[in-house]
Each structure stands twice: as C-alpha cells, then as structure tokens.
Structure 1
Amino acid sequence: MAAERRTIGDYLRGHAQDRGDAVALAFEGESIDYATLDRRASRIANGLIAMGLTPGSRVAYLGKNRAAYFELWMGAIRAGMVMTPVNWRLAPPEIAYVLADCRPALLVADPDFADRLDPAPSCPVLLTEAGGAGDLFAAWRDAQADADPRRDSGYGDPALMLYTSGTTGQPKGAMLTHRSLLGLRDGGGQDDLPAWFRWSPHDVALVAMPIFHISGSGWGLWALQHGAKAVVVREFDPHQVLDLLVEHRITKLMIVPTALRIVCDHPRAAQTDFSFLETICYGGSMIPLDLLRQAIGIFGCGFAQMYGMTETAGTVAGLAPEDHDVRGNERMASIGRALPGVEIRILDPQGHVLPPGEVGEVAIRSPSNMAGYHGRPEATAQAMDADGWLRTGDAARMDADGYVYLADRIKDMIITGGENVYPAEVEQAILGHPDVADVAVIGVPDPKWGEAVKAIVVPVEGATPDPAAIIAWARERIAAYKAPKSVDFAPALPRNPSGKVLRRLLRDQYR
C-alpha cells in the first residue's frame, strides 16, 4: 500500500510494530503504549462485530475527554465504522436530536450524562465508569478477542462524523474520511510542510480542547498518526494545564485565545520554565496584541494561528510564527496563507474569482474537505460544488501574497470562547417566551470571550419582560454557552424590504 493511502488503522498498526512500548496516550495517571492501544482497538472492533454491527455504522460517544474515547475510535475504525462524539454541553433536546439523526449502533457515555438521554436511545449503552445503570465499557472491551479483524474502511470512507450547528438551528453531521483527516500530512514529505505544522514521534501534545470539536479529536489523532504522545485532559482547567505542561514536557499545544489568556493570567505561569514548549497553535479568533506579548514573554515559543472549520477537518491555512511580531504588523490581522495542498479562492456571489483586495466569500479545495453532510444531500450540494470547492460562509479579502483577511461572517456566526453559535438557533429558543414578540441575536465584543451573545428583544405589547428570565428560558432549551449573556429591548428590529433582520446594523450599534 502506497504511503499516501495509509488509513488511520494502518498508522496504528505500524507504530505498534515499530515502537510498541512508546506511550501513545496519557490520561490521569495511566499511560497506554502503542502496543496496548493496538490490542485494545482490536478487542473493541471484535466486540462491535460480535454485536452484529455492520461497516459504516455509527458509534457514538457522549462524555468529556478521556483516553477511552481514542481507544473506542481506533476500534470503530478497525471494524469499518464511524466515530461520532456528541457535544456534552448541549441541552437534552439537542442531544436527542443528534442521536436521532446519526442513529448510532452503540453509545458509550459518561454516567454523569445519563440523565440527558431523554428519550433513551434505542441502541445499547456502555458506561465509561461506574455510577449508573449499564455495563462498563472497559469490562466489555477486555472480554473480547485480541486478533486484528482487519475490517477497516477505505481511504475515502468516513472515519469521523462531527456535528456542526447550522443557520437553521439544526446541526449537521460532517462526514470526515481517512483522506480528510490524514491527507494534508501524508501526501508528501514532512519537509513540504511549514515547520509549525510538522509532527514527529518525539512530540508530546496536550489534548485540552473538547473531542467533540475537530480541535480535540483532530489534535489527538495527528499525534497518534505520527507516533507521538497525546496527553488527554478531561476538561480544560488552567491549574491542570500548567501541571501537565511541565510534568510531560509538552512540545505542542492547541488552544483558543480565551483559554490562553486564562493560563497566562494564572499566578504560576510567569514563574514556570517552559523551554521545552516548541509551538502554541491557536484558532477560533485572532490573538489580541496584548495577549500575544504576554504569552511570548511567558512561554518563549513560536505561535501559529490556524484557520479551518469542521467541514475542512480543521486547519487549512495558517499564520506562521515568523509572521507574529510583538510590535504588531499588518499580517497579524490575517489568518495567514493556504497550507501546501490547499487552494483558497475569494468568490463573488456568482462564483467568480475576485482579484486581490476585493471582499468575497472564502472557498476552499483541499484533500481535507469533508465527504458531505450525513443524510443531507441538498445541504451538501449547497456547500460543495462538483469540482470540490467548499463555500465557507466567511467573507474575506486576499492580498497579492496569498494572505487572507477575514472581513465578516456571511452566515452571522458568533464565536464565543472558541465555540460557534448561530443566531437563528438562539432566536428560535427565545421566541417561545410568552413576553417576546420578536428577537434578534448578535455577537458583541467581550474582553473575556472574544464575543458575547446578546439578544435584542421586542416585547409583547404591554409586557415588561425580565432579562434574567429570558436568559434562564433560553438556557433550559439550548446549551448554556449559546444562551445570551445580556438582553436589551427595542420597539422594533431593523429589517430590509424582504423582512430579513439587518443584524449588521445592530452589531454596528454596539461596536
């Protein structure tokens, strides 16, 4: 098999054979070497096959970060199945929607989230640890045979399905293939990649971002792809992050700027030696200049901004460390340039390529692009054309050197603390409140979260709604991070002749 066609399972088998005693995963005091991970993946695959599950079936996971998730994923891949992590931060109706949409053949869940399974899924449920009604995942795993079933799916078949919110309020499952997840790193030599994007078996990566995002699952996978060590953090905590950075001598860290600021502001950060840390990659938003200065002074390593989305399996463009300057420069306002193997165009509404300097929609063609949305052929056709170009919904301009500068988000998406929030979804949750006649949701600047969700409400005639009550109403129906942080009131909302709310005008009032 040619090197560029190796699947995720092939990489794991190779590392187990060549460096089986090297640590693959570290999690809360347990170290799992590549030989053990390989053996557990075979056991899990055999267990899935013994349950009668067929290739292409979805295996869902509802829980916080843990090594068992990556074991489950590697086992699902070995059985030709698709891993589907579910966002544990979602409200029960949202979790129910995702499970109903993906129709998993098996669900592995943390017991803490058992009360969120309403209605109960029709598939078998295994628990990651004691604390609820159900069999334990580890006991089930260890009862299976060790022999590798070698029932992997093909390079172009889905291996991971991540749900991404939509402008209609209904999340969609982006199907990421082995090619999507591996293609930018296995198509050529490491020398073709920028230094900050390369991995080696000597790297130690901290997996602190949630695994239901590509920044969590992808970051852990790329460590395993290269035979490196992935240190898994159950949930982001600045105290623990600082401890693990030093204890494991982390070389690669992926973090969102809001989380980076929390770590930098920790009293111990300035007194810690981080000379082992090589690169901090950040995404979700640009890094404020004051934070960059603070972080460089504390960590002394290279910083790289990464741009991508779930549908591109993560990073497709980046701003290299050499483009970062504590004095500030024009390029730091950009997301950087396309990675090797990635094409980026700026298109007008008719799909024509715009010249440098003109603002249009960002379109991407890359081996990492998704195969499509699960069960959504129309949505897939709207997002991707027959030539493989993915329309991102981001508005931007490109300079003559290929640096891309985001201008706005065409789809009005809000990024708060690294999480994507779509106004329509929040508006739908608020509109059921008996005192709300109309509502528009926007993102407003926030020093902690980058953006905060704000609702502008038109009250029902004669009503005087309480902002706290509206926020509480929303939090009962959608994830807490999506709910508005503040509520303002207005007699009417600005709309265009067709009736569409002009969110840009509302945003301008607060900026």
Structure 2
Amino acid sequence: MPDPDGLTVRASTHPDRTAIIDPAGATLTYAELEARANRLAHALLDQGVLVGDRVAWCGPNAVEVLVVLHACRKIGAIAVPVAYRFTDAELGYVLADSGAVGALVDPGYVDRIAALRPQLPALRELVAWGTPAWDALLAAGSPEPPAPAEAAGTQMIYTSGTTGKPKGAVRARPVPEMTDALVRTLRLVPDDEVHLTTGPLYHSGPLAWAVLTHAIGGTVVVMRSFDPARWLELVRTYRVTNTFTAPTPLKRIVALPDDVLATADLTSMRSLVANAAPVPYALKQEIVAKLGDGFLFEVYGSTELGVSAVLPPEEQLARPGSCGLPLPGTEMRVVGEDGHDLPPGAPGKLLVRSPSTFFGYHGRSEPVGDADGWKTVGDVAHFDADGYLYIRDRGGDLVITGGMNVYPAEVEAVLHAHPDVLDVAVFGVPSAEWGQSVHAAVVARPGHTVDVAALEAHVAGQLAGYKRPRSWEVRDSLPRTDSGKILKRVLREEYDTRTAAGNG
C-alpha cells in the first residue's frame, strides 16, 4: 500500500496554513494547493499520462510550478524541469531527449515550444498556465485526491552542461531518514519555515529546498526572478527563515550600496544555504559583516549526488575552504588513481555513497557507480585530519603546467579576496613551453577598476610562482549557468577564438 501523500496529509491537518505566497499575485493555503494539484493530477490522468511518463515544465518561478510538481508526484509521473533561458536548440534537445509526453509552460514559452513539435514525436500535450486552456484543464479535474500511484513520481533534472550537452539525472523519491537528517543538520523547524525561492526552480538545489519546505509544512515565497534589493525586501517583509542560493546572488547582495544594505533585516533567517559553486572565504566574511552571523551554511552536493556534506554557521570563518562534514547517513572517500583511500591533505577523486544519490542518466547505459554503490561526479577533494571536506576542483578543471598540478579554485579564492574583484574564473590555456599556463578572467566590483599589475602583486605574496596567472582578461561578466556554475568551456572557446585571430 503506497504511503499517504504528504500534501494531502498537510491539507487535512492544517488546511488554512499558508502554503505559497506570490508577492505579485495569489496566496494559496494548503487546502487550496491540494485542490489545485489534485485537479491537475486528474487532468493528466485523463490525458493518458502513466506512472513513469515524463512531464516537462518550463518557465520562471511561479505558483504553477509547484502545482505541477505536486500533481506529477501524486500520479507517479516524472517531472522534468526545462531551463527557460535555453536557446531553441537546447529546448528541443532536452524535450526530445527526455521523451516528455506533456509540457506545461509559462505563456511566454508556448510558441517557441510549439514551433519545435515536429521534432518531438513523444509530445502529446502542450498547455500554458494562466491561459483559458489551463483553466479548462483544471476545471475538468476533480479536487479530490487521485488514487495513490504505484510509485511516487521522481524528478529527472538535467545537469548544467558545463562540459557538454546536459544529461537527465534520474533521482529517487526523497528517503525519509535522509530528509530528517537534512532538516536536523540545517536546523529547520517543521511547521514553522518560510522559504524564499532565491534561485530558479528548474535547478536541483532551489527545487529541492522548495519541495523540502512543503514536506515539513512550511510556506514558500515565490520570487519570480532574482533582484538583490528586492530579495532583502522580501526577507524582511515575510520574515523568511530559510533559502538556498549560489554564491553569485550573495555577491550581488553584499555589493549593494550602504544605504540599501542599511534596510536589511535577516533576524528571522535560520538557514541560508550556499551551494552550486565554491563559496569564497572573502565572500563569507562580507556576508557575516554586512548581513549577520549565525545562519550561513555551505553544503557540498550536486544534481547527481544530492546533499553530501554540510558546514554550519559557527565553522564558516574557522575552517577556510571547507564545505563541512558528511551529512549523517552519507559516506565519503577520497581515492587515488589506484582506487585506494588517500591520507588527510592528499587530493584525489571524491566518492560518495548514500540512499539519496541518483539512479543514473536517462537513456544512457554507462555505469554511474561501482558494485558497492560508490558514485562520483569527478570532483577533486581532500579531507583534513578532523574529517572536514575541501573541494579542490572539478576534475576537468585541473591545470597541469610544467608537470605541476594547479587547482583553479585555490587561485580563484586568492583573487576573490582582492577588494576590486567581484568575480573570477581561472583555467588552463595552451603553452608551448609548459603544456598549459594559468589564465585568469576577472570582473570588477561596481564602482571599482581592475588593475592587472595590482592583481599580480596580490597573488605574488600568496601563491607559488607556477600557480600564478600568466595571462589575464578583464570582463564585464562571466558566463554562468543559471545554477551559478561558471561555464569555463565557453571561456576556453572564446580564448581559443581570440588566439586564432591573433588577439590572445
């Protein structure tokens, strides 16, 4: 017998509790969210959606996104987030690769996807929320819960594609023991959380935190798109207690003018979780100094592996560079090329084993772990003597110059500490003499100017000669995925193009 649906239970026990707040629109109670999700679930069933079928959704953060997620779970369908910032080619690739039988989308994207339908033979239904077709779809469905599905719907989230085409990582339904461990570790309070959607919900982290907040009876405040000053306003107005964000939005918040920061009130915040990219130590210092202390968490995780390690607020400044201890129920190892465990301080491939890791990539047969359940995304890491994890770099980002290994994250951390630098990416470029040399792309803080000579002097006092950048570029911005990861592949391609044209 399937377990009772969590939303149905919440709607029964606390029907009038606020489930979703759209500051620009509707507010839904748990009873209203339950009825709307049930109507959509029945409508999907009437259209022939079966357990295990993929249903894509696409659009900026909205109340309807959460309705779609709950409806799919109730009938055992697999919800597939599609990034609304994709090009048409990328939209078509993900929709085709996923085999989605239906697409529920923001009105601004329905025409683009409709134009792609000739290359999407599996797609049977395309409906834009907030339109008469959407209203008719909901009106046709019953507000009563559908019969419990044989298996609760999972998520299939496409990886960021920082090194190539994205792949659909198929995730299991949440494991109660691991959810409980995460709630305790992040100091969340069931039935008393207010979550703000700082990042796009099609990314695994923001999506997981919004779903987690509903799972423990909290309220989700929907921010359609990120704006740093508006973020401060929403936190203050709705007494937000938790959020999930990449480092880039945090940089934009602490870079706000002093008069705007003077309006900040984060006294309600219990758990501000940073992830998706390493959080520079200098940024942590700014957050504590400008926004307050006692609520900043850093987690190590990924679309494929889930949350694997957590560093609590009291350790943020005490352990520079660390992202914490393994989450209870999660095992982690660092191994060398021979597969044997490495001693503290020695960098190697990070392996993770837990009930929360992904099943595999949709439509691909390559193994994603060994026979004992250890899985990896190729990150290079080390542990210290106390068992704290330090991510050195993604495996593909390692720079080998003159036979020496340079981990770009180490160089980036030094550059982030310079007062003129807002953002930085370090990567390897071809060198006739050394094989590769270290290249840095930097972005100035608002109102500041980057002086390369000053940066060279800054790194000279902190990094060995072979680790220092040999070439530089000053940019207005860095290409990033919407989850916050720097697209170093794009930066390398741009560098190669400039070099080939004689402008390197």
User: Shorter-chain TM-score: what band?
Assistant: 0.7 to 0.9
Counterparts of 1:44 and 1:137 in 2: how far apart (Å)?
A: 9
Query: Displacement, 1:165?
Result: 4.1
Per the alignment, residue 144 of structure 1 pairs with 141
Q: Deviations over 1:347-404 (max 9, x none)?
A: 22232222222211001011110111111121xx1x2122221112001111221111
Q: 1:41-52, aligned counterparts within 5 Å?
A: 41-52=37-48
Query: Displacement, 1:164?
Result: 0.8
Question: 1:42–1:75: 8 Å Cα contact kept in structure 2?
Answer: yes
Per the alignment, residue 179 of structure 2 pairs with 185
Per the alignment, residue 468 of structure 2 pairs with none
Counterparts of 2:362 and 2:187 in 1: how far apart (Å)?
A: 29
Letter in 1 for 2:178: L
User: TM-score of the superposition, structure 1-length normalised?
Assistant: 0.75
Per the alignment, residue 487 of structure 1 pairs with 495
Question: 1:274–1:300: 8 Å Cα contact kept in structure 2?
Answer: yes
Aligned to 1:148, the other structure's residue is in SS state coil
Query: Displacement, 1:260?
Result: 0.8
Aligned to 1:392, the other structure's residue is in SS state coil
Structure-2 change in CA distance of 1:487 and 1:175 (3 Å): same
Per the alignment, residue 306 of structure 1 pairs with 299
Per the alignment, residue 62 of structure 1 pairs with 58
Per the alignment, residue 21 of structure 1 pairs with 16
Query: Displacement, 1:316?
Result: 1.5
Q: 1:380-399, aligned counterparts within 5 Å?
A: 381=367, 383-399=368-384
Letter in 2 for 1:20: P
Structure-2 change in CA distance of 1:215 and 1:165 (3 Å): closer
* Unmatched runs of 5 consecutive residues or more in structure 2: 399-407, 413-424, 428-435, 446-472
Counterparts of 2:105 and 2:438 in 1: how far apart (Å)?
A: 33
2:330 to 342, 347, 359: 342
Q: Give the aligned length.
A: 424
Structure-2 change in CA distance of 1:45 and 1:316 (3 Å): same
Q: Confirm whether residue 218 of structure 1 aligns to residue 213 of structure 2.
A: no
Q: Deviations over 1:31-79 (max 9, x none)?
A: 1111111111211111011011111101100111111011011111111
Counterparts of 2:214 and 2:444 in 1: how far apart (Å)?
A: 33
Letter in 1 for 2:349: E
Q: Deviations over 1:207-243 (max 9, x none)?
A: 1211111112101001001001111111111232122
Could you tell which deviates more after superposition, 68-77 or 269-278? 269-278
Structure-2 change in CA distance of 1:232 and 1:170 (3 Å): same
Question: 2:12–2:31: 8 Å Cα contact kept in structure 1?
Answer: yes
Counterparts of 1:297 and 1:167 in 2: how far apart (Å)?
A: 32
Question: 2:42–2:141: 8 Å Cα contact kept in structure 1?
Answer: yes
Q: Confirm whether residue 260 of structure 1 aligns to residue 253 of structure 2.
A: no
Aligned to 1:273, the other structure's residue is in SS state coil
Q: 1:408-427, aligned counterparts within 5 Å?
A: 408-412=393-397
Counterparts of 2:150 and 2:189 in 1: how far apart (Å)?
A: 25
Counterparts of 1:260 and 1:208 in 2: how far apart (Å)?
A: 10
Question: 2:107–2:130: 8 Å Cα contact kept in structure 1?
Answer: yes
Letter in 2 for 1:334: S
Letter in 2 for 1:95: L
Per the alignment, residue 288 of structure 2 pairs with 296
1:319 to 308, 311, 326: 311
Counterparts of 1:240 and 1:53 in 2: how far apart (Å)?
A: 39
Question: 1:91–1:116: 8 Å Cα contact kept in structure 2?
Answer: no
Query: Displacement, 1:166?
Result: 4.9
C-alpha RMSD of the superposition: 3.4
Q: Confirm whether residue 280 of structure 1 aligns to residue 272 of structure 2.
A: yes
* Unmatched runs of 5 consecutive residues or more in structure 1: 424-439, 450-466, 493-509
Letter in 1 for 2:15: G
Query: Displacement, 1:480?
Result: 12
Q: Deviations over 1:381-434 (max 9, x none)?
A: 1x2122221112001111221111122211339999xxxx9x9xxxxxxxxxxx
Counterparts of 1:146 and 1:271 in 2: how far apart (Å)?
A: 43
Letter in 1 for 2:254: C
User: TM-score of the superposition, structure 2-length normalised?
Assistant: 0.76
1:202 to 185, 192, 208: 192
Question: 1:258–1:448: 8 Å Cα contact kept in structure 2?
Answer: no
Q: Confirm whether residue 107 of structure 1 aligns to residue 103 of structure 2.
A: yes
Per the alignment, residue 31 of structure 2 pairs with 35
Letter in 2 for 1:21: D
Question: 2:182–2:327: 8 Å Cα contact kept in structure 1?
Answer: no
Question: 2:7–2:34: 8 Å Cα contact kept in structure 1?
Answer: yes
Counterparts of 1:281 and 1:376 in 2: how far apart (Å)?
A: 32
Question: 1:58–1:83: 8 Å Cα contact kept in structure 2?
Answer: yes
Query: Displacement, 1:153?
Result: 4.2
Q: Deviations over 1:471-496 (max 9, x none)?
A: 9xxx9xxx99774495364469xxxx
Question: 2:8–2:145: 8 Å Cα contact kept in structure 1?
Answer: no
Counterparts of 1:400 and 1:46 in 2: how far apart (Å)?
A: 54
Q: 1:373-452, aligned counterparts within 5 Å?
A: 373-378=361-366, 381=367, 383-412=368-397, 444-447=440-443
Counterparts of 1:172 and 1:237 in 2: how far apart (Å)?
A: 29
Aligned to 2:5, the other structure's residue is in SS state helix
Q: 1:93-132, aligned counterparts within 5 Å?
A: 93-117=89-113, 118-120=115-117, 121=120, 122-130=123-131
Question: 1:199–1:223: 8 Å Cα contact kept in structure 2?
Answer: no
